[in-house]
C-alpha cells in the first residue's frame, strides 16, 4: 500500500548567529551537508530546529529558504507548524501550502495541560486549513501523558490526517494503532530505536541525528526492507553509540557540535540551550573518530 511521505525525513537543525539571531548562511551550510545524504526529505521547523524558541517570522523565513534550496531536487518538504497558538499554526500551514510544501506536521499544543478534546479540536482546525497531508504526533514527553488508543484513532480519522509521528517507547501502543488504522503512515521518532519500530512495520522515521547520519538510517531502512535483522542490529548499535554521546552533551547542542567537528559552520543552539559536561568537544570528537561512525559521514 502506497502511503504519503513514507521514508526518512531529517528533522532539520536551524543555523543561528553566535548572538542567537537566525543566520541564513549557516542554515545554508546545514542544508548543503544534509542534502548530500541519502534521505527522503526535510522536516522543517520542528523541535530539532528549536522552533519553539523561534519567532513566527523566522519560521516563515526558514520555510522559504528550505523551499528555495530543495527546489529541483527529489527531496520532500514537510513543514512543522505546531505552535501552541492555533492562529499561528494555521498561518504557518498556509505559508507552507503557498510555498508548495509536500506536507505538514504539528506537535499537539503544549504550553498548557490541554485535555484531549482541546487537542482534537486543534488538530481538526489545523488539518482543515489547507489541503496538505498532515502528520500528527504521539509524544507523551510533551503532553505529559500517553494518548489512549481510541482517542488517537479519532485524530487519525480527521480529513487530511495521513500520518503519525510516534515518539514513544511504547511499541505495543504503536502496534495497536497500526492494527486499528493500517492506512496511516507511521513515522518513528526515537532514532536509537528505529530498527525496533521497523520490525513492527513502520513506514519511516523523522529524527534529529539524521542531520549527521542520514546515510546510516537509510541503510537501516533498506536492511528492514530486505528483512536483514543482523544488519539492522549492527547499524542500530552505531546509532546508539552516537546517541549516547549527544545525550551527554545535550542533544541539539551536541548535534550541532558534531557538524562543527565535521567542518560545517552551523553555529550554536539558541539560549537557554547550552553544551553540557566538562569537555563536550572531546565527547563528540571521540564519537566522530570511531571507525564505524566514519563510514557514514556524508561525502
Instruction: Residue 51: give its domain's CATH number.
Output: 3.20.20.70
| pLDDT confidence of residue 184 | 98
CA distances from 23 to 55, 79, 176, 188, 266 (A): 13, 19, 43, 29, 9
| pLDDT confidence of residue 241 | 97
| pLDDT confidence of residue 54 | 98
The segments of the chain whose pLDDT lies below 50 read none
Domain contains 203: yes
The residue annotated as part of the active site, out of 137, 210, 217, 242, is 137
| pLDDT confidence of residue 141 | 82
Is residue 60 annotated as part of the catalytic site, yes or no?
A: no
Distance CA 230, CA 223 (A): 9
Q: Is 41 in a helix, a strand, or coil?
A: strand
| pLDDT confidence of residue 255 | 98
Neighbours of 33 (CB within 10 A): 20
Helix/strand/coil (H/E/C) assignment for every residue in 234-282: HHHHHHHHHHHHHHHHCHHHHHHHHHHHCCCCCCCCCCCCCCCCCCHHH
Domain contains 291: no
In total, how many domains does the chain have?
A: 1
Q: By residue range, what is the domain housing residue 37?
A: 7-226
Domain contains 11: yes
Domain contains 263: no
The residue annotated as part of the active site, out of 60, 75, 165, 256, is 165
| pLDDT confidence of residue 110 | 82
| pLDDT confidence of residue 298 | 84
Distance CA 165, CA 73 (A): 24
Is residue 179 annotated as part of the catalytic site, yes or no?
A: no
Domain contains 93: yes
Amino acid at each position: 500500500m502506497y502511503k504519503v511521505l513514507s521514508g526518512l525525513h531529517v528533522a532539520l537543525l536551524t543555523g543561528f548567529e553566535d548572538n542567537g539571531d537566525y543566520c541564513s548562511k549557516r542554515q545554508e551550510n546545514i542544508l548543503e551537508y544534509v542534502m548530500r545524504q541519502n534521505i527522503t526529505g526535510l522536516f522543517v521547523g520542528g523541535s530539532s530546529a528549536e522552533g519553539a524558541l523561534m519567532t513566527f517570522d523566522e519560521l516563515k523565513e526558514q520555510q522559504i529558504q528550505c523551499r528555495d534550496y530543495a527546489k529541483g531536487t527529489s527531496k520532500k518538504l514537510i513543514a512543522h507548524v505546531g505552535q501552541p497558538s492555533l492562529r499561528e499554526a494555521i498561518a504557518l500551514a498556509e505559508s507552507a501550502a503557498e510555498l508548495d510544501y509536500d506536507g505538514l506536521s504539528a506537535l499537539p499544543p503544549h504550553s498548557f495541560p490541554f485535555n484531549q478534546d482541546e487537542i482534537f479540536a486543534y488538530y481538526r482546525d489545523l488539518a482543515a486549513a489547507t489541503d496538505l497531508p498532515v502528520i500528527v504526533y504521539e509524544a507523551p514527553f510533551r503532553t505529559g501523558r500517553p494518548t489512549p488508543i481510541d482517542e488517537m484513532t479519532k485524530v487519525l480519522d480527521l480529513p487530511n490526517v495521513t500520518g503519525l509521528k510516534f515518539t514513544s517507547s511504547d511499541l505495543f501502543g504503536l502496534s495497536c494503532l497500526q492494527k486499528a488504522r493500517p492506512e496511516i503512515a507511521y513515522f518513528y521518532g526515537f532514532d536509537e530505536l528505529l530498527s525496533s519500530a521497523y520490525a513492527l512495520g513502520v513506514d519511516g522515521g523523522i529524527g534529529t541525528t539524521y542531520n549527521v547520519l542520514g546515510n546510516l538510517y537509510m541503510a537501516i531502512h533498506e536492511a528492514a526492507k530486505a528483512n536483514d535483522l543482523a544488519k539492522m542490529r549492527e547499524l542500530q548499535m552505531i546509532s546508539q553509540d552516537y546517541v549516547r554521546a549527544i545525550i551527554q552533551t545535550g542533544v541539539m547542542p551536541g548535534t550541532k557540535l558534531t557538524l562543527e567537528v565535521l567542518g560545517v559552520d552551523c553555529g550554536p543552539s539558541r539560549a537557554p540551550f547550552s553544551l553540557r559536561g566538562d569537555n563536550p568537544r572531546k565527547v563528540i570528537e571521540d564519537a566522530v573518530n570511531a571507525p564505524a561512525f566514519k563510514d557514514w559521514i556524508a561525502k
